[in-house]
Amino acid sequence: MPSPFPGMDPYLEHPDFWQETHNRLIVAIADSIMPQIRPKYEIAIDKRIYEITDPDSKSNGDSLLVGIPDVAIKRQSNSPDVPTRSVATVTIALPTTVKVPIPEKIKQTYLEVREMATKQVVTAIEILSPVNKRNGEGRMTYLKKRQSILGSLTNLVEIDLLRSWEPMPVLNSSIQSDYRVLVSRSHRRPLAELYAFNLRDSLPVFPLPLREEDVEPIVNLPELFAGIYDRAGYDYRIGYDREPVPPLSEENLVWAQELGARNRIAR
């Protein structure tokens, strides 16, 4: 059964589903593009690791939206057992159990289209995750990589399917949208194409930039998402009677729950 939503399903932004959706979309894009670009190009799934120490994000609840659970720590009583035998003149202070900040290692996959003959990266394809968007070390690390690509001969495709946090910067644009896809061709910079769309809109279909002389393959996000949704069995795994995380506006929540109710009836 297809998703009840016409475009992006906001329930897939929940940390219980986002990492899986991200990984499935990476593979789906790679599989759909490969027949269109061979034999001149190859497409590789690569990985980067973020190491983040951010105790404030855990205390204010952001760790939930990162999609990575907190490190499991065995809870201990604030009044642990201590030996009762002591010298009469000595007072033993009872310690309090606390947490100390430890680095989190976050693995994130992305795609590179490479020229077969030279192995040179022609196009980088990024699907943003919370670690890229929320303020902190992860965002700064990603912005440095992004700026490096934008200053090179490599094309960039940046897919943002998360409503939370600030979108990636673009100049001279006051466009506000829930989601966006940026297509930046190296030979047209600083100009780029921005596909901005909202919760009630369809996902975009867009061409993938390669070399100027090449025919550009098509990335059909609606078709790819339909396949992911079906193969993952999201129609029966998602509880559409619950409020999405992150939350929707009151108007969009009513609309989303109406669509979810139709999904339950049809099922």
Q: Are 106 and 138 in contact (CB under 8 A)?
A: yes
Tell me the CB-side half-sphere exposure of residue 131, using CA atoms within 13 A.
Answer: 24
Q: What is the pLDDT of residues 160-209, one digit of tens each?
A: 999 999 999 999 778 999 999 999 999 999 999 999 999 999 999 999 99
Q: Considering the domain boundaries, does residue 76 fall inside one?
A: no
Sheet holding 41-52, edge to edge: 41-52, 104-115, 121-127, 155-160, 179-184, 193-197
Please count the structural domains in the chain. Answer: 1
Residues 6 or more apart in contact with residue 248 via CB below 8 angstroms: 10, 199, 256
Q: How far, in Å, CA of 118 to CA of 114, rounded?
A: 8
Q: Considering the domain boundaries, does residue 200 fall inside one?
A: yes
Q: Considering the domain boundaries, does residue 79 fall inside one?
A: no
Mean pLDDT (whole number) for 234-239: 92
Q: What is the pLDDT of residues 112-132, one digit of tens each?
A: 999 999 999 999 999 999 999
Specify the pLDDT at position 2: 85
Q: Considering the domain boundaries, does residue 181 fall inside one?
A: yes
Q: Considering the domain boundaries, does residue 173 fall inside one?
A: yes
Q: Considering the domain boundaries, does residue 185 fall inside one?
A: yes
State the pTM of this model. Answer: 0.81
Q: Considering the domain boundaries, does residue 111 fall inside one?
A: yes
31 Ramachandran zone, left/alpha/beta (phi>0; psi -120 to 50): alpha
Q: Considering the domain boundaries, does residue 257 fall inside one?
A: yes
Q: How far, in Å, CA of 184 to CA of 146, rounded?
A: 11
Could you list the residue range(s) of the whole structural domain that residue 114 is in? 10-67+102-266
